[in-house]
Amino acid sequence: MNAPDSHRTFPLGDRTVNRIGYGTMQLAGPHVFGPPKDREAAIAVLRTAVENGVNHIDTADFYGPHITNQIVREALHPYASDLTLVTKVGVRRDAQGAWLAAASPEALRQAVHDNLRNLGLEALDVVNFRVMIDTMGPKEGSIEEPVAALAALQKEGLVRHIGLSNVTPTQLAQAMRIATVACVQNHYNLVHRADDAMVDLLARSGIPYVPFFPLGGFTPVQSTALSEIALRLGATPLQVALAWLLKRSPNILLIPGTSSVAHLRQNLAAAYVQLSDDVVRELDGVAAQAGARPAGH
């Protein structure tokens, strides 16, 4: 059975990508710091992803730091012509692995060059400016200076497209006055629905929305109702949660991460899980029970 047409592809930058991609965060060591336990297994996951049609990989040079991008290069370079690598800047790691903001023009320039070197590229396909704050959700504050700095790097030919991560609608509007925004990457999943309005806004503009923690991150999406729905559909609960995101809006691109080839294959199979309107209403009930507000409410 083929995946529904609406599940297949969406434009990202100047390319069209398959809507289920891959995020590299779990390829680093514990707490996204240091080397992986099994480097060959990490390489196998990346190669298996591409062999199975993944042409959108999300990464960052602060994963490791540097290590994950070096593994991406070892596994996949020279890159396929249709492979889009999306990276993030605006964050750095200290010697103990702490996450620190690094949003000055000088820090962003250094981060772009670090990504270029470690990925083995002359230009980065898409660079997301990641607003680094102490909480998971976005927080208001001007992002004019960092976005302008990335726009300058774009003019130099080092960056092809600029995206945003962990931003508010106000920050999105501010960035769009400076540069074309290729995508937005925020926290969103079946039970974390604060960005419903932004998903719809971006869909109307043809801009991809890329949820981070699409399966809940450190606290996986789970409920008795979700498990019962998955059982009826012959799928896993996490496959249903991914399928719901695909169904939610055609501009949603998924980047679930894993360090396991078996889990990778399960994630990719979510493209074949078809949800009826009745099942979607049931899943919206799961969201409501978790305190989220389903779209349209």
The beta-strand segments (E) located in the chain are 9-12, 15-18, 22-23, 56-58, 84-89, 91-93, 99-101, 124-130, 159-165, 181-185
Q: Provide the residue type at 115 as one letter.
A: N
Q: What is the largest CA-CA distance in the chain?
A: 53
d(CA 20, CA 243) in angstroms, rounded, equals: 10
Catalytic, out of 22, 63, 188, 209 = 63
Residue whose tokens read 């769009």: 176
Strands 159-165, 124-130: pairing kind: parallel
Q: Which residues neighbour 6 within 8 Å (Cβ) at sequence distance 6 or greater?
A: 246, 247, 250
Q: Quote the tokens at residue 241.
A: 């949660």
Distance CA 277, CA 286 (A): 14
- Of 1, 112, 3, which is closest to residue 62 (Cα–Cα)? 112
Distance CA 124, CA 284 (A): 37
Does 63 qualify as catalytic in the annotation? yes
Query: Shortest CA distance to 85 belongs to which of 102, 103, 73, 100?
Result: 73
Q: Is 48 helix (H, G, I), strand (E, B) or coil?
A: helix
Question: Which residues are known to be catalytic?
Answer: 63
